[in-house]
Structure 1
């Protein structure tokens, strides 16, 4: 009798459902307290949610994660970077930074890799100046989602519905930082979570896995390293001086690099065989030499050039191709030649000329979650 009870207990343990898991790869909209992630968490309280978002950065920052993460362990992976691509390409850097075929192709390979292993949900946030009319970048992200068999969750449609049902204007739904207001984002996330809890999505694996095309290089200079850590993430950096010349992989395209914005105030030059390729003004507004904390930021390079050297250059340089990333002073100012550099990401573009495959999902299939949330609101 005792043996029978033990066998029953073992069977019950084996049959206990595993905790469902979610991974979030996003930017500032995915980091705000009381935002859409909080609403999602409220609706999906039985889920384990891992948030690896980094603010003020483009979506291709996640190439390093894609190169080594096993996405099949997650039930859903959320990808949220569209608004930051709009910030770079439609906002203040529109004259220096462009949404090109190279950018679209790299994003496709990232999204395809995730969708080849699990359910990809792409969050369709947009900037306030791209709200009335869909931007080319917004349309591209929706097409790519459809192409890889992911689900495009159209935040723009959610906000328009909220405006209509509450008789609001665009000024009522976006805050002073040009993000949708937290309480509205929270409710959208809660509604999305409730829908996900009520339906069952298969883990589509028809997309292609390009994870082998991405790699990373940790920057570690002797006696110049430091490790930061908080409750959310860690960041290992090397303190770069003007005398340092950082050697890079000159066989692959350089996507960009991670740094600590709080301890970075300089201009850098990316070069190949002694010729300048790109110049970047890393004059971060959050710079504070006395601070003990950190802010992880990714700086993307336009069109991902092949470069072999990165170094600090003086503010008296005769700049030819200078651009300023997000949350930096956007004019030429004296610099302090301070840089805390973490790691560099690369892309092997051997598949860049391959034709895009036929769409795995139809438009309506890729918009399934959007439609279901809308229906839950309007009844």
Structure 2
């Protein structure tokens, strides 16, 4: 068996970083875009080996809640409250800075700009940059409770990105979220709703894999549906619209994670997605599931059967694979459409959700 030696700076806080890594692992807040080593996803030696020997850089993709908590600590100097999301955000930043891992927050601030406007998102992004400057010891002290206040320096210079510009990936995922809302409100057998969604994707839209898996998690009998599609039955139908938009952002995080993971090998990067939303981590984790189970993890079928115990999990699995095969055989839906079909589908879906007769 080959062996290797990694030399670590004597000042490197090994025990602190291991404690933080173990806690992050126990919080089940991470989805890996690669097969993690047997010693664990956040093992110090494994990550150093990947960087120094394999020349692979590791990047963390964080959702808006985590990015905002990181920025808030830099802006205010102390956490407003110590809940699960704050703990994940603080420990993740401490681990990333100690291990020299990049954090990619871009999509998080697109989401914030979409909700609160470009100026608000730019201001918070500047505080995130201040948080991410490199103060590992300070972050570790807060993460381990040795400090309750921290000075991370002044706000960073504002950037000029147009974060409020609509993202095509989000618009497509929003259409799917609006479509998921229909059977969610009409009711009926959940597996039929899932199969109907596959049919609609193939016949009238595109086969959006992350969105399909989000729907599979949502319609599954074990899901906490109210957290995945918020306020669907609210008397204020604009809250239902906001719930569908929020679901579309969740799906877009998974699709961005998938996109970067697919391109990672060429760029010498590997990606980890982080969120305090357990359902979102469940969906993101499914992207590394292969057709067969092995020592590294379950198969796609096994994971779907965790969400859909019994025969229904296999039914959904087989229909999804049939859809993939159909796409692979040259289906090319939408190339002959004129006008703005995406915009029209959004208006149609929003119209149905606003006028839901059960409100």
Q: Same fold (TM over 0.5)?
A: no
Structure with greater helix share of residues? 2
Structure with greater strand share of residues? 1
TM-score normalised by L of structure 2: 0.29
TM-score normalised by L of structure 1: 0.28
